[in-house]
Amino acid sequence: MVSPLDPVTDPRILRVFARPIQVRGPDGPWAEVREAISRHGSALVHARLDDWLPADLGDPGLSEQLGQDHARFRRMRHPTVKARFVASRLMLKHTAGAVVGEPPGALELAYKLGGRPYLRGHEQLDISLTHTADLIVVGLTRRGWIGVDAELSDRRMTGLGTEGQMCTRHELEELAKLPEDARNSALVRLWTLKEAYSKAIGQGMRFRFTEFGFGPQDRHAREVLLPDGSPGTGEEWSFHTCEVRGRYTISVALYDAGFGESGDGLDALRVSGVLLAELLTGPSSGGRPESASAEFTPAT
């Protein structure tokens, strides 16, 4: 079932993203997910946590379903974290399994440095996972790289003293122009876009979020902006933000490496060396990292 979302009006966005698809458990609907991948090369899939939560978190069968994640699952102390962890892994494996045509239990979920998940043996299908409250979101693409992030739309982000760590000076200036009651939701949108982009790049919070941004007042983000508001990326990047279930803001960033659906060429850089150096070390250092492959994302 396609969730009732605000329509995607930008034809370029429509080309690379299908509308988000809600899956309600192991029965899918997987045909819609496969159709989205087939037509667009990408899919954005979301679910309610309860729809994927096993009745018994102590079920010995979870060991086989979670694979190497089961050891971490057993060590977790926080019951909510445990529930989100197991539900999100089951949903991710079922979704990816539906796309690659393998049983979920046959897929091995592995992690790069910093926690970004990937499917061992299926690296041509890039995946990204996020969850918050009772929402789980999975992004999948054969085009290149994908990053997704979700937050409660009314999550308090202004007034925490963190805006200066989250925003470029251009974003702060633009946010200040908004009516006060619109600033928090605008910051939530900006944050999810930044998180999605940094996840797609493969850097996570290792990026300086003050060194890249988006237009706080643009309905559809078209490109990454440098701190002064000038363009920082080209048309190879696509972004989309939407609201699901009336309470969650989801953003997705997609880098089209020109792979089509072949999935070849994964050694290509995800971001230019100059921009990457600024994002990692700040504009004044002039430092240049050796590789764009390391990433530091809070484990999902």
Partner 1 sequence: MTVGTTTVGTVAPRLRLALLGVSGVTPELLDGDAPEEDDGALDEELQLVDDLDFDSVMLLELKCQLEQRFPELGELSMPEILPELRTVGSILGLLTRRLAAVGAV
Positions that interact with partner 1 (CB under 8 A): 72, 75-78, 80-81, 85, 132, 151, 155-157, 160-162, 165-166, 191, 195, 204-208, 280-281, 296-299
Q: Is the CB of 15 or the CB of 82 nearer to partner 1?
A: 82
How far, in Å, are 7, 102, 125, 259 from residue 262 at the CA level?
A: 29, 18, 9, 6
Question: Cβ(59)–Cβ(70) under 8 Å?
Answer: no
Least distance (Å) between residue 163 CB and partner 1:
10
Least distance (Å) between residue 56 CB and partner 1:
20
For residue 130, the tally of other CB atoms under 10 A from its CB is: 25
User: Over the Cα atoms of the chain, what is R_g?
Assistant: 19
Least distance (Å) between residue 160 CB and partner 1:
6
Least distance (Å) between residue 150 CB and partner 1:
10
Structure tokens given for 150 = 């979700």
Least distance (Å) between residue 175 CB and partner 1:
16
Q: Is the CB of 119 or the CB of 166 nearer to partner 1?
A: 166
Least distance (Å) between residue 192 CB and partner 1:
10
Least distance (Å) between residue 153 CB and partner 1:
14
Q: Is the CB of 24 or the CB of 156 nearer to partner 1?
A: 156
Structure tokens given for 183 = 């600033």
Least distance (Å) between residue 155 CB and partner 1:
7
In which residue are the tokens 């999935």 written? Answer: 263
Q: Is the CB of 93 or the CB of 208 nearer to partner 1?
A: 208
Closest to 220 in 3D by CA, of 3, 16, 4: 16
Q: Is the CB of 155 or the CB of 245 nearer to partner 1?
A: 155
Q: Is the CB of 100 or the CB of 172 nearer to partner 1?
A: 172
Q: Is the CB of 126 or the CB of 278 nearer to partner 1?
A: 278
Q: Is the CB of 95 or the CB of 210 nearer to partner 1?
A: 210
